[in-house]
Structure 1
Amino acid sequence: MSDNTTPLGPAHEMQVDPFKGLKGMMAGIMLMEAITVLLVLAVVGVVDDGAHATVFNMTYVAVLGVAMVVASFMQFRPWADKMNIGLQVFAALGVIVHPTMLFVAVLFILAWWYTYHLRANVKSRMDKGLLPAQHYYVAEDRD
């Protein structure tokens, strides 16, 4: 990539990984989703005088929420994208528990879609040599 000429001049390999910050953002989204899913437990238990608070429903929501908490710490794994998509499918299937789960799932599916859109945009710009970090060097020793 060092001989690649772009509108900003010749590009080089970056010293900083732009996807590292994105993975942190993805971990934050997953943790916020886990908290929101676990708050659905209160909704299921209170709405309609607890008519939806069956053992299956409460267990489904609790296991999904705990799985999302665990998943938020695994965003740096190579299979994290498949895990994220799978958890979104299970969140959307939560409509069998209560319609509130579908509402939460749709909100976070949109958040995940936008995150993956941003990642594709960064990757596209990186492949074209258009990221600012590809055009400056960070000094190794700063004393």
Structure 2
Amino acid sequence: MTNTIERTKTEQEEAIKKIRQEFKEAYDKKYVKQLKKMKSEIEEYIDEYSCEFSKMLRKELKNKRSTVAACIAEMIEKNLESQFSREQQRIIELKEQLDASESDKKQKIEQIQERREKVQSILNDSITMLYDLEALETDEIEREAV
């Protein structure tokens, strides 16, 4: 009887072992299947969101690029405005110098004209005196001849 009990016990242990093994295999199959399903879902999720993330990133980079381009354009515009302003001021200064030169030229021309008129007057007076002297000489010669 002990032998039978031991055999029954051994058979029961083997049956339990077999059931555990079958359960483990079924569980492993189900677990592997479940893992594959979860892996597939995770990959789909990653693909979906990586594509969406990529779009968002491209959009953000495009916005940043536009912002940077606008900043650069603004800097260039300010620089050009500054250069334009300096050049405009330089043109005004040159025009003032030219106007001053024109004024100086006009003044010098007037001074030269006045001097020319004085010289002409002196020359006319000199010529008149020369004629007067010649006339006096002629009169003197005629008087001496008489």
**Pairwise TM-score range, normalised by the shorter structure:** under 0.3
Question: RCO higher in 1 or 2 (8 Å CA, sep ≥ 6)?
Answer: 1
Q: Which has the larger radius of gyration?
A: 2
Higher helix share: 2
TM-score of the superposed pair, with normalisation by structure 2: 0.26
